[in-house]
Structure 1
Amino acid sequence: MENIIKPEQPLACFQVITDTHVTDRVDHIHNRHLEKALADITMYSSGSSGIMHVGDLTDRGLPEEYRQLHRILSIYQESLPEIRYTVGNHDIGDTLWQDPPLDLTTMTEDEVERVLEHSAATAKGEPGSTGESILPFTLWEKRLNQFAVATGMRGSYHDHWINGYHYIFLGTEQPHPKNCDMSAEQLEWLATKLSEDASPDRPIFVFLHQPLIDTVAGSMKEQGWYGVTQDAELKAILSHYPQVFLFSGHTHWQLEAKRTMYDGGDQMPTMFNAASVGYLWTDQDEPLEGSQGLHVDVYHDRVVVKGRDFVTGTWIENAEYVVQLPKIKKTVTNHLQSDDSL
């Protein structure tokens, strides 16, 4: 009888999705894309450590949008791994991105309450028409509390040990319309968490909605979709841990674009753009209808990251990356457009 060599099984696996932008319209394409993505993930997520969502769950952070999110999740709750969430600027920012955008900081507290409890369409008062403008801290509390209640997360930053691997979620502490603003306390917390039982040959997985400048697709200075106020400070902390894998969203850049992966070598983490479930963006700076995400397999000597097209239910050609551990050298498989020079 011939010996049959079984394929090597990963020690752990998980999925990364981002920018679902769920709206209050049941049949909106963003909602349908999320349903299709979750249905697709159920086909290959057996044994998964979880789905890691990198922010912008909703389009405006409104209660009805969170209700639609829960409706969609309930369809697949029996067959999906647990989902953990990162805060995005659309979820907790000080601007509701609609037409025209609504600046919550120009409104009174009562007006903001009406918007957040019902919808922007039912807020009849003129922004800032009565009383004093809402204090940013009060606005931050309201937005973050709605996110925490809807997701079960402990706040804008939190961490989890899952099946022997460390998963760390970072996020803004101000309701900025676009960027991430991290406190000194969060940065100190991160430095402490990264050091916990750290080993050069065991990856640490970090999730942050906004990418660091000049790293992954969409984050180049001229593109403008980077967005961490403490960019230099965060890079300084991460530079001590090249075994970190940092996943970000925000840019929506499709996985076929250049710089889906940023190769930090042995000086910085490996970073990945996780595209978007809601809609995509291209290197030609144009929107593209589509829905994509990442699947991650962890082996004893490497981490494999693969791009998934949720619309077609197929793996994306030339979007597979193999990162060797310990992180002394990297091999990028089938991705001719990767950029290793940054």
Structure 2
Amino acid sequence: MSRRSFLRWLLVAAASLIGLSAGFAKWFSKHAFVEQETAQAATSIPGTPSPELPSGDISTVQTAALGEPLLSYFVFSDLHISSLDSATSIKLKQALDDLKSFDSKVEAIFMTGDLTDTGTAQDFKVLRTILDSYKLPPYHANMGNHDYYSVWLNKNNAWDKDTFPNGKSDALSREQFNKFFGYKKPYNEVNLNGYTFLLLSQETYIQEKPEVGEGAWYSDEQLKWLTERLAASYDPARPIFVMIHQPLPAIGDDGGTHQLIRAKEFRRILKPYKNVFVLCGHRHMDFQNGTPHYVKETFHYFHNSSVGRPLNRNFQAETKTKSQGYYVQVYADKIVFRGREFSDRSFLQEAEWTIDLQPAKA
């Protein structure tokens, strides 16, 4: 079975795995976005504030006047490195070549899920080979749904739903990810130059919990950890960065497949804090296709594009060469986000924001 055929099958299988009706499965196969692994609300985010520039909150980037940043880093999402497809490896190398010759400081790289296409040992071996061939700043990551996909591949590394889980398990996927990065758990805290980064991870997939589909399930333990680390790390004068993979559903809702499932609890935990920045991946939306990439809630919410497969509004890889990510610069009173096109080493005017931080005593 080809990858494309398998993913089309998965549309219906996801419904049947959680006991849904045949009618819903038919609707699901027509409307869900598994083929390109995008969020259900990929082109709009109903129920959220307007992504247009809030008054007094965002201005056009003018980095020349800002001085030296206190911290600068890149955010890569949806690399989709595969032992079966060299195209995504080429794009990651493009991105890392760009960093190697980058004029400005790069102090870290964060990778927000779907590091691999199928989560196999072969995929991670390719990723390791690429990363080890560069002299890089510290890099950190969380898990996406694709990093659990080894359960769908048989001993010949071919897509095979009939032999699911093919001798694999979600536990093995977590173990493999943790071993690759030297983590004890798939969710972690990173501190850089006095700034806190909380990387949350999807903790299970359908081998253990069929009802999650392609959504991100966070356990009570992980959400308690998030609550405790926010309280312990919070300094009203300093921003906190929270990295997730799947996007949030509309405000007031819990998510389903392709979304953060326990979204109401996630938002409740973040609500008391100002200057929190949430960055997600999964949607793959090209920075230049007109879809919202920034939404202002009680926190600042940014959607990334994809290093491996940026998509147009119809979830197609319209331009095969594109490869994108965020360059983030932290200043004492503002954060600058700049969308980067790695294929031609340019910044994208459509993806430039400066967020003024709320003062500590406001």
The verdict on a shared fold, with TM-score over 0.5 as the criterion, is yes
Q: Letter of the aligned partner of 2:148 in structure 1? A: I
User: How many equivalent residue pairs?
Assistant: 286
User: How far apart are 1:323 and its partner, in Å?
Assistant: 0.4
Candidates 261, 266, 283, aligned match of 2:313: 283
Q: 1:179 aligned to 2:240?
A: no
1:232 corresponding residue in structure 2 = 264
Specify which of 74, 99, 104 is matched with residue 41 of structure 1. Answer: 99
Matching residue of 1:258: 291
How far residue 255 of structure 1 moved from its aligned partner, in angstroms, is 1.3
Query: Contact 1:20–1:30 (CA<8 Å) still a contact in 2?
Result: yes
Matches within 5 A, 1:1-342: 8-25=67-84, 28-44=86-102, 47-76=105-134, 78=135, 80-93=136-149, 96=152, 115=154, 119-121=156-158, 127=163, 139-176=169-206, 177-214=213-250, 226-256=258-288, 257-264=290-297, 268-288=298-318, 289=320, 290-326=322-358
**Which has the larger helix fraction?**
2
SS at 1:35's partner residue?
helix
Q: Which structure ranks higher in relative contact order (CA pairs < 8 Å, sequence separation ≥ 6)?
A: 2
What is the CA-CA distance between 1:122 and the residue it aligns to?
Answer: 9.9
Q: Percent identity?
A: 29
Deviation at 1:6, TM superposition (A): 8.6
Q: Which runs of 5+ in 2 are unaligned?
A: 1-63, 207-212
Q: Which runs of 5+ in 1 are unaligned?
A: 97-101, 103-114, 216-220, 329-342
The 8 Å contact of residues 21 and 59 in structure 1, kept in 2 or not, is answered as yes
Q: Which amino acid aligns with 2:198?
A: I
Cα deviation, residue 150, structure 1: 1.9
Q: Kindly state the Cα deviation for residue 307 of structure 1 after the two structures are TM-superposed.
A: 0.3
CA distance in 1, matches of 2:303, 2:162: 39
Contact 1:84 1:153 in 2 (8 A): no
TM-score scaled by length of structure 1: 0.76
* Structure 1 letter corresponding to 2:126: Q
1:287 aligned counterpart, secondary structure: coil
2: CA distance, partners of 1:225 / 1:10: 38
Structure 2 Cα separation of the partners of residues 305 and 73 of structure 1 = 24
Distance 1:198 1:286, change over 3 A: same
Partner AA of 1:262 in structure 2: V
